[in-house]
């Protein structure tokens, strides 16, 4: 089970790479107000949802306690990210504050995952 959990943590990290990496490629465009939610960001956000839910299930199946409040906060933040990226996936220009918010929320979720125990 440990191996399976670690495989899913690995997939979870690949999801972060896709979501945050997609955001970082758009930073220069964001300054100019011409950034867009690239497909990597949508697919990364979806990956976070699927692998995150799987990790909760695998940890519970393994009788390991999950911090439900922490996971609830991470899930709520991800729902906002996913909603914005999904609805605006075909927009050619995203306003700077909205685009910045998605990157900021992603970073917030990373630090919630790492600092909240
Ligand atoms: C942008 C969204 C997210 C980011 C950046 C993120 C980030 C991370 C990181 C860096 C880790 C590894 C660190 C650790 O093991 O504590 C992790 C683990 C984990 N994540 Fe996420 N995550 C996100 C969304 C989610 C969601 C939506 C869920 C569940 C619905 C979730 C559930 C988990 C679980 C269960 C673990 C296993 C370790 C633990 O118990 O904390 N994550 N996440």
> Tens digit of pLDDT for each residue in 72-93?
999 999 999 999 999 999 999 9
- Which one, of 37, 58, 42, 44, lies nearest residue 13 by Cα? 44
User: pTM of the entire structure?
Assistant: 0.95
The verdict on the CB of residue 20 being under 6 Å from ligand 1 is no
Query: Which residue has the least CA distance to atom 43 on ligand 1?
Result: 113
Whole-angstrom CA distances from 30 to 52, 64, 94, 102 are: 28, 41, 8, 12
> Tens digit of pLDDT for each residue in 25-79?
999 999 999 999 999 999 999 999 999 999 999 999 998 889 999 999 999 999 9
- Taking the C-alpha atoms of residue 87 and residue 91, their distance in angstroms, rounded to an integer, is 9
How far is ligand 1, taken at its centre, from the CA of residue 48, in Å? Answer: 8
How far is ligand 1, taken at its centre, from the CA of residue 75, in Å? Answer: 9
- Taking the C-alpha atoms of residue 76 and residue 70, their distance in angstroms, rounded to an integer, is 10
The verdict on the CB of residue 34 being under 6 Å from ligand 1 is no
**Domain span including residue 94:** 2-115
Structural domain total, the chain: 1
């Amino acid at each position: 089970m440990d191996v399976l959990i670690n495989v899913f943590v690995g997939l979870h990290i690949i999801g972060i790479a896709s979501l945050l990496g997609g955001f970082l490629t758009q930073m220069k465009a964001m300054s100019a107000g011409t950034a867009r939610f690239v497909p990597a960001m949508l697919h990364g956000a979806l990956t976070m949802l699927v692998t995150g839910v799987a990790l909760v299930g695998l940890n519970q199946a393994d009788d390991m306690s999950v911090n439900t409040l922490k996971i609830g906060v991470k899930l709520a933040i991800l729902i906002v990210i996913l909603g914005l990226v999904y609805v605006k996936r075909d927009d050619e220009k995203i306003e700077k504050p909205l685009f910045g918010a998605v990157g900021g929320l992603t970073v917030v979720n990373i630090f919630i995952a790492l600092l909240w125990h």
